[in-house]
Amino acid sequence: MAEVAGALRVSVGMLVRKLKQLSAAADEELTVPETSALSRLDRGGPAASSDLARLERISPQSMGATIAALEQRGLIARDRDPRDGRRIVLSITEAGLQVVRDRRGARTAQIARALASGFTREELAQLRAVTPLLERLAERL
């Protein structure tokens, strides 16, 4: 068990670091926390700043700075919570959605080029088969 955990930590860590390097090189405009908050709003829908801070495991003050930068760029918008008018929720704008789509598309294309240039059909089938297991592992961490 520990051997598998160690191997996964190393290989997935290498992949994540490489993807972050590629993203940073492609678009230095957004920081990692900004990218993460924007992606979370895209996947999870509108949320309060405090909820985002908790999910991202950063301080509310740090999330406030992140939110301010995203809002200044027009990538997110603040609205009153329709269920509780005292609460402010953040949502991704059309411009924010476009940034997320562009970034994901670029990373997907980079991965596809790497797969096309050095993997056999059998290896691609193995990678395809393991993806649900990696997703399940990520959900349990």
Secondary structure of 85-117 in HEC code, one letter for each residue: CCCEEEEECHHHHHHHHHHHHHHHHHHHHHHHH
Average pLDDT, the chain: 89
Mean pLDDT along residues 24-38: 77
Question: Which residue range is the domain that position 12 belongs to?
Answer: 2-140
Q: Note the pTM of the prediction, 2 decimals.
A: 0.71
Write out the two tokens for 88.
């402010």
Give how far the C-alpha of residue 25 lies from the chain's centroid of Cα atoms, to the nearest Å: 16
CATH number of domain containing 129:
1.10.10.10
Q: How far apart are CA 123 and CA 135, in angstroms?
A: 19
Q: What is the pLDDT of residue 78?
A: 94
DSSP state of 18: H
Least confident range of 5-9, 40-44, 102-106? 102-106
* Number of domains observed in the structure of the chain: 1
Q: How far apart are CA 107 and CA 109, in angstroms?
A: 5
